[in-house]
Amino acid sequence: MGAPMLQGFRSVRGHEAAIGLLRRSIAQRRTASAYLFAGPQGVGKDRVAHALAQTMNCTARANPSDDACGECQNCRRIALGQFVDLLVVKREFRDTVSARERESEAGARPEDIDEKKLRQEIVVDQMKPIMESVAFRPHEGGTRWIIIREADRLHKNAANKLLKTLEEPPAETHFVLLSHRSSALLPTIRSRCQTVNFGLLDEPDVHAVLAGLELTPEHIRELLPLAEGSVGRALIYRDPEHLAARKKLLEEILATLRVKEVAVGGFVELATRYKDPTEKKDQFGRGELEETLALLYRHLRNEALAAAGKSARTSLVHAARAEIVRETMELLDGATSFNVGMQLQNMLVRLREVRP
């Protein structure tokens, strides 16, 4: 299920401000040697980075203010991931992942790959060949683009390697760092990049992107409310069985809030099931945890809205609980697996303290 072929900035939905800024810098021939695309996951940062590389390498543009043609050889190669001067750096598979599994995941959207299969960090060995290649001029005669997905996941050594290159940027080479946690980047790296901020997508834009994928209108209707501004977030649930399983877990969690005894049922089970995602295959991983908490948050917030006109008290309880879940999600974002169980226990206690 691929997105429609990338044809320059015009084939990206939303992000008018970010794209406007990039297009102006191209038109004025003042493209930065390093960009930081900061903003939520699943909104299209990677697509914009590719559109930028396309525009800068398109051979059919007549004016500096023109968008990429989308048809010339360079444009097509970039869209198909076959352009030798565009390198994408991302977290690699763990050594335990079999060759067959790797193959089946080839071409998958990064957020679709099971977190348990990926290394925690981008390691320095991945950066070495790239940093060596930038010493040479681009092969295709245009500009070279190095896109680093989840740049906040760069291991310290890898980040330092990158920093050295950013301090003396090679000619015709541009870096685009993508991150939904840009505050976790080294300040020295951040300061070398021009930051471009990305926000969440409006619902019509999410709808348009989903409509461009091979989904039935019925399926789109089901996914749309789950997106909350991020196409990637909605697509997590495109497998109906997956969504059903998450909803079941959500029900378990809500059930534990209704019973009087402390710390029974789904929540504690959830907390204890989540240990080290590398340990066992069938264990509850961070991805599942984040998804479940996001569903819980959304559920509580919707309940708060639904109760608003009827009972102010009930509405406040749901809103307060939603806030606790949101805080926990923030705490867990970037936390080590070591204290996840404790954070969940703590969340449970706090949720139960808010009583109708």
Residues that bind Zn ion (CB under 5 A): 58, 60, 68-69, 72, 75
Give the Cα separation of 65 and 63 in Å (integer).
Answer: 5
Amino acid identity of residue 61, one-letter, is: R
**Taking the complex as a whole, how short is the minimal distance between the CB of residue 29 and Zn ion, in angstroms?**
18
Nearer to Zn ion, 138 or 232 (CB): 138
Nearer to Zn ion, 74 or 165 (CB): 74
Nearer to Zn ion, 48 or 151 (CB): 48
Nearer to Zn ion, 66 or 327 (CB): 66
Nearer to Zn ion, 58 or 226 (CB): 58
- Partners of 174 in the β-ladder: 145
**Taking the complex as a whole, how short is the minimal distance between the CB of residue 146 and Zn ion, in angstroms?**
20
Q: Do residues 3 and 47 make contact, with C-beta atoms less than 8 angstroms apart?
A: yes
**Taking the complex as a whole, how short is the minimal distance between the CB of residue 96 and Zn ion, in angstroms?**
41
Give the Cα separation of 170 and 293 in Å (integer).
Answer: 43
**Taking the complex as a whole, how short is the minimal distance between the CB of residue 9 and Zn ion, in angstroms?**
12
For the purposes of burial, counting CB atoms within 10 Å of the CB of 320, is it exposed (0-12), middle (13-18) or buried (19 or more)? Answer: middle
Give the Cα separation of 231 and 184 in Å (integer).
Answer: 23
- Structure letter (DSSP) for residue 148: E
| Backbone φ, ψ for residue 16 (5° rounding) | -60, -45
Give the Cα separation of 156 and 152 in Å (integer).
Answer: 10
**Taking the complex as a whole, how short is the minimal distance between the CB of residue 53 and Zn ion, in angstroms?**
11
Give the Cα separation of 130 and 113 in Å (integer).
Answer: 23
Nearer to Zn ion, 14 or 142 (CB): 142
**Taking the complex as a whole, how short is the minimal distance between the CB of residue 77 and Zn ion, in angstroms?**
10
Query: Residue 344: CB partners within 8 Å, gap ≥ 6?
Result: 267, 270, 271, 274, 328
